[in-house]
Amino acid sequence: MANPTNLQYTEEHEWLLVDGDNATVGITAYAAEKLGDVVYVELPKVGASITAGTVVGEIESTKSVGELYAPVTGTVTEVNDAVVSSPELVNDDPFGAGWLIKVSFSDVPALLDAAAYTALTGE
């Protein structure tokens, strides 16, 4: 699946859709594919303060566990309850309905554009 050019990316395979001070965060199709079928998602609570680079959630597949790293520093404003009840959304639509959290951020580290992320994964 091509990495959408309107998104930004981290080396930990998250994507961000930035809109002003707010970002929607998910994991990339590459990450979802590597994990296999996602069967359990644990997300931070709304209102939680998160720090860029720290683990804030877990994405488990039948085979392995992926950690969700906070890509930015800020406050969680919304979590995707649909993905908690239907974890397969992460595989089915990683860049869309499989989004994980929304964050109001105060600080953003350097992110990758789609071309740089695609080069990173070699796919």
**What is the contact surface with other proteins in residues (CB under 8 A)?**
33, 36-37, 39-40, 42, 58, 60-63, 65, 91
Measured from the CB atom, is 10 or 61 closer to other proteins? 61
Min dist. Cβ of residue 54 to other proteins (A):
14
- Which residues, 6+ apart, have CB-to-CB distance to 36 below 8 Å? 61, 62, 63, 64
Torsion of CA 22, 67, 43, 63, to 10 degrees: 140
Smaller CB separation from other proteins, 1 or 116:
1
Nearer to other proteins, 16 or 32 (CB): 32
As a whole number of angstroms, the distance between CA 24 and CA 121 comes to: 21
Residue 57 in contact with residue 42, Cβ under 8 Å? yes
**Closest separation in Å from C-beta 51 to other proteins:** 18
Q: How far is the CB of 97 from other proteins (least distance, A)?
A: 17
